[in-house]
Structure 1
Amino acid sequence: MRLIFGERWNGEYCNWIALVNKTLLRLVRTLIITLSLPFLVIACAVSPQVVNMTAQAVPSPLQTTPNLAPPQQHEAYFQFMMAVRDELSMNIDAAKDKYRLALESDPSSPYLHARLAALHVGLKDHDRAIGHVDAALKEPEIDVTTQVLLADVLVTIGVFERAAKLYDIVIQRDTKNPDVFIKKGVLLLSLNKLDAAKQALQRGVDIRPDLPIAYYHLGRVALGQDEPERAIQYFERAISGKQDFLPAYLALARVYEESGSVSDAIEIYRTALMTLRGSPSVLRSELIRLYIKEQSYESALVLLEEILQENPSNLEATLRVALLHVELKQFEKAVSYLETVVTHRPSDVMARDYLGLIFEESEAYAKAIEQYKQVLAIDDKYLDTIVHLGHLYYRMKNFEEAVPLLQKAVQLEPQRIDLYLVLAFGLTRLKQYHDAVGVLERGVALGEEVPHFHYHLGIVHEKLDQADELISHMEKTIDLDPSHSDALNFLGYYYVEQGIRLDEAMGLIQRAVSLQPDNGYYVDSLAWAHYKMGQTREALVQLKRAIILVPDDPVIVQHLGEVYLTLGKWDEARKAWERSLELDPENQTLRDAFQKHGFGNPMVKDGI
């Protein structure tokens, strides 16, 4: 019987390692993109969800220059002016006290209540802010400016519906004020009332067509209504009216990116970098992210190097540069940058983990293990390193060390389905077959129909001589993935070895060969099926081809010897079996057959 985890160790091991490597590659690229500097929180630029209305519609009350519309009472006027001075000097507590004194002298002043409401919002005392809003609105004589400020306060606190009604009152009193229409439109947009938001914003534009902020928010509305082309037009109009309008650049680039025009998005960011003074870091961050997304690592490196020239102590940029050099397989440079990071931040587990990965890739296994162990000494639950160290032990075929690490990884993140596969592989190598079945069944229980799980369950059940389970899982694998060539070959070869369902076996193996015509193991299975069906000469043709594809596989060479023996070519049979025993000296079954057929002692060639 061909033992997938015995004679076929190399091929199946490579499949497992490829699986782990794919997982690690996804992790590396995900981390690089994640580390390509944080995005500016402009979610509002690409979707109509609720946003921070303080930022979008209302300046922070603590940053708003007070409107110099003082109360009429002399003492109130004096205290008001002193409060304004303190507020402009950011002496908020003093300003608050003086506004209160002014209010005592002029208790019917709505504007004093409005200023106090704004100050309390800045101090996050929302209850007092609401109290002053209520007091101001009770006054019969309240001007439009004060009403707008009160509505802005309500927006900042999050009392949106009441704020919208107050904006409507202002609009009834002043139908030509575009700013109020825009404030109302932004508020309605945050509430996802897109049609009403569009109507309000358009009213603002009708009154004053040169308002970039209105076009920006109309672009947001268009995105919410799934009209990206119209959104692009609005964002471009916003930029044409205000060349340094950063949010509009970011929104426009994101629309292009989401529509698949990454090159256009890159061009927008580059234009913004050349246009805006000071090159806002978010632009470089986004441009770096897109370069990495497009695997334009050299371009990303140029920008990161600029950041390091401006600030050589920027360790985050240093780490990103290192990871990009890893992607470019420039390992010496990567090591240099990573060592800089760990020198200044000895407890940086990510940098040490990547040092371990680089040393592992360079086959400096001792150094890799040292870095991984240092990480786990800092944080014994750092999952990436646990997985990486387990993977390294797999590569070293040290399964005794690998399995406990992977068991811990599964405990730490039980929803990561790939960990179950890798752990099961290690358990199988340790001949802990029942444990391997348990691990794989836990993976299946996660609710995902993954062909690999059923395939490897079939392999382990073969080890346990559980034929029904083996066949069931292999058939399930093929049902889920008809192009799963390993399962097709495995099940077909199993039938051949058992001497059952040979026609079906031939069909399965032929499907596997059609998917991978240059896979020597599949060609060997095809040859063996021909042999078992009495088609010896066709078997010989296929075996010769299999040996060309896989020259040093002991099973294939043993099969060749058996075919030669059947054809009466005893000398060729003896030579083939001698070669097979050289490749696998522990094959006692073949050694016995060698002597049984009168070939003598297989350790003594040509009678010597």
Structure 2
Amino acid sequence: MSSASSSKYRSKVRHSAGPLARAAVLIFACLFLGACAKQQPVAEPAKPAAYPMTPEAAKVYYYLVLNEAAKNNDLRMGTEAIRQLLNLSPSADVYVDAARFYTERKEVTLARDIAKRGLENYPDHFDLTMLLAETYLSEKRIDESVSLLKEYISKHPENGEARQQLGQLLLSNNLFQEAADLLRQKSSTRNDPVTRYYLARAYVQLKKLKDAQTELKKAVQTEPEFVEAWAELAYVYELMKDYVSAEKTYEHIIELGETGQEVWLRLITLNLKLNHPEKALSIAKEGPEDMSFSLQAATIFIDEGFPEQARELLIPLAEMSNPPAEVFFHLALIAFNNDKDLPGAISLLENIPDHDRLWSKSIRFRTHMLFELKRYDEAVTLLEQGIKADPADREFWDMLIDLQASLKHFDEAHAALDKALKRWPNDTELLFTRGSVYDLAGERDKALEVMEEVISHDPEHPEALNYVGYSLADKGQDLDRALVLIESALKQEPEKAFMVDSLAWVHFKLGNLEQAWEAINRTIELGAKDPIIWEHYGDIAKAMGRKSDARKGYREALKLDPKNADELKKKLRGI
């Protein structure tokens, strides 16, 4: 529940010590260690003398004990000091310092108990109310925290700091309209820069950008070094697409001495949006001398479509001793996407060591490029190395199986599947892949058998349901079950064109031509680009006597380089 981070505006509740706690050491020194003017160092507190102390001396003594307990994080010592202090002088300040002691040690229940006891003796005490609200907030009891602060404000509408605290709480919990309604009300802090800052943040979320701009301009006019307000104002300009004003505002923030990377990165982004890549590059070079900053800047250049500027930032980093893997990964992306230099990209990725978090990703990237270059044996070897290094990486297994299957190395694909299924028994995705490999190899009966096994393990697996349903329909077998299976698949994947095609085909086989025609047209609307789907379109149209549509279906199928072109031409001639 702290306010904006500028020290001038930090909340007293969380950051100021109680007045008695602040004075305790000096008073104790005066009473027990000689004149204050000597300013001798305070020794660790001893037990009270056997002879009685005055109540004031005892209070100072136990405050010193509480300070020592806080310093050493000694809950037991602190609890005893608090007990003695509350017996000696149960003032509001004692309750505040006691509650804060427990809050700082995350002893929420003890802090709440002290705060409640304090409020029983000092109703509506501001600091105690804030501390009690903070205990609710620490346990995510948002409603109770909000209710407590609202009740306090209703009794003390002039207390602007309470409004700021509640406003910040409402903002952090996405209650933007409520925050705006609260913060714009008249109060002692209505025109305070922090109130204007929080109100502006609420306006931003409510899309009231002009109102946010007005509040922020007034905030920085009152407090010219309020960096957070300047940053929010720059962000508002960005949302308003006033990039020139946003750029000037970010530059002003840097002039104020702000050294955080975020401001520099925003300046780079803005200049790229304004199509000033060389100025953006100059800013990147002038920015913080930090590797992470340079990498983030390079990423922005890549994302915004300026790879050459990114490369100019990255190459000096790559020449340094032990550069981070991200440098080589980014350079490889540039080589791949922009230079189309796949061998160069592969070479760059080889610099990433196997203990780096990007190594697995680099293996997958290299495998993809090796496949594109038709260097299939190298791709297989690389994936096998990946599996050996990290056998729990499922994606390596999936890629190896898919690669072997695409190369029609079906025995090798099944061998890899056997090993994967030992590691992940009865895994439905692996079983589905096995069925797909059988299908690709032309072994339809085996594929159907495996897909039935998938359904037995996962009755809602949409792809397996569709495969079995379509296979049955295509064979003209068990059509009622085929319809149920396909409809079940479509409940989960209603926008998959090939599944809607399956529905059209089973209706066609059942003789439900109107339903088949409706479904096949829905498939075309979904953007299907498959010769089989267009052939189905032609077959259904022909069965309905729609000759023109039938010709259209067969002609569209022929445009897509079908395997059965001769058969389609024969169908076309037969209309």
TM more than 0.5: yes
- Alignment CA distance shift 1:525-1:425 (3 Å): farther
1:132 maps onto 2:81 in alignment: yes
Q: Equivalent of 1:377, from 301, 315, 319?
A: 319
Hey, what's the Cα distance between the residues in 2 that align with 1:237 and 1:305? 33
Please report how far the alpha carbon of residue 114 of structure 1 lies from its aligned counterpart in structure 2 after TM superposition.
5.6
The one-letter code sitting in structure 1 at the alignment partner of 2:53 is D
- Alignment CA distance shift 1:203-1:406 (3 Å): same
- Alignment CA distance shift 1:319-1:420 (3 Å): same
Q: Equivalent of 1:503, from 498, 511, 535?
A: 535
Residue 368 of structure 2 is matched in structure 1 by 425
SS in structure 2 of the partner of residue 57 of structure 1: helix
Q: Equivalent of 2:226, from 275, 280, 283?
A: 280
Residue 322 of structure 1 is matched in structure 2 by 268
Would the aligned equivalents of 1:117 and 1:153 in 2 still touch at CA under 8 Å? no
Please report how far the alpha carbon of residue 332 of structure 1 lies from its aligned counterpart in structure 2 after TM superposition.
1.9
Hey, what's the Cα distance between the residues in 1 that align with 2:132 and 2:306? 61
Aligned pairs for 1:142-181 within 5 A: 142-175=90-123, 177-181=125-129
Residue 331 of structure 1 is matched in structure 2 by 277
Please report how far the alpha carbon of residue 402 of structure 1 lies from its aligned counterpart in structure 2 after TM superposition.
1.7
Unaligned runs of 5+ in 1: 1-39, 45-53, 496-500, 508-521, 540-608
1:192 maps onto 2:148 in alignment: no
RMSD: 5.8
Would the aligned equivalents of 1:79 and 1:99 in 2 still touch at CA under 8 Å? no
Please report how far the alpha carbon of residue 425 of structure 1 lies from its aligned counterpart in structure 2 after TM superposition.
2.5
Unaligned runs of 5+ in 2: 414-435, 442-461, 467-488, 499-522, 540-554
SS in structure 2 of the partner of residue 61 of structure 1: coil
The one-letter code sitting in structure 2 at the alignment partner of 1:270 is L
Would the aligned equivalents of 1:390 and 1:405 in 2 still touch at CA under 8 Å? yes
Deviations 1:119-163 (A, max 9, x none): 447745545544432332343x54444333333333334333223
Q: Equivalent of 1:307, from 250, 253, 257?
A: 253
SS in structure 1 of the partner of residue 184 of structure 2: helix
Would the aligned equivalents of 1:427 and 1:436 in 2 still touch at CA under 8 Å? yes
Hey, what's the Cα distance between the residues in 2 that align with 1:221 and 1:227? 9
Residue 413 of structure 1 is matched in structure 2 by 357
Q: Please, what TM-score do these two structures have when normalized by structure 2?
A: 0.57
Please report how far the alpha carbon of residue 234 of structure 1 lies from its aligned counterpart in structure 2 after TM superposition.
2.4
- Alignment CA distance shift 1:525-1:63 (3 Å): farther
SS in structure 1 of the partner of residue 140 of structure 2: coil
For this pair of structures, how many residues does the alignment match?
Answer: 445
Q: Percent identity?
A: 14
Aligned pairs for 1:6-405 within 5 A: 57-61=13-17, 66=22, 94=41, 106=53, 108-109=55-56, 111-113=59-61, 115-116=63-64, 119-120=67-68, 123=71, 125-127=73-75, 129-139=78-88, 141-175=89-123, 177-219=125-167, 227-237=175-185, 241-244=189-192, 246=194, 248-257=195-204, 259=205, 261=207, 263=209, 266-267=212-213, 270-271=216-217, 273-289=219-235, 291-292=237-238, 296-311=242-257, 317-318=263-264, 320-341=266-287, 345=289, 348=291, 350-351=293-294, 354=297, 371-378=313-320, 380=322, 382-394=324-336, 395-405=338-348
Deviations 1:46-67 (A, max 9, x none): xxxxxxxx95634432888857
Would the aligned equivalents of 1:57 and 1:187 in 2 still touch at CA under 8 Å? no
Would the aligned equivalents of 1:262 and 1:290 in 2 still touch at CA under 8 Å? no
- Alignment CA distance shift 1:76-1:328 (3 Å): closer
- Alignment CA distance shift 1:321-1:121 (3 Å): farther
- Alignment CA distance shift 1:146-1:439 (3 Å): same
1:526 maps onto 2:559 in alignment: yes
- Alignment CA distance shift 1:55-1:393 (3 Å): same
Q: Please, what TM-score do these two structures have when normalized by structure 1?
A: 0.55
Would the aligned equivalents of 1:232 and 1:252 in 2 still touch at CA under 8 Å? yes
Hey, what's the Cα distance between the residues in 1 that align with 2:173 and 2:300? 46
Would the aligned equivalents of 2:66 and 2:82 in 1 still touch at CA under 8 Å? no
Deviations 1:388-444 (A, max 9, x none): 211233243433332254463896336987x6764332121232336657859989x
Please report how far the alpha carbon of residue 338 of structure 1 lies from its aligned counterpart in structure 2 after TM superposition.
3.0
Residue 48 of structure 1 is matched in structure 2 by none
The one-letter code sitting in structure 2 at the alignment partner of 1:212 is G
Please report how far the alpha carbon of residue 301 of structure 1 lies from its aligned counterpart in structure 2 after TM superposition.
0.8
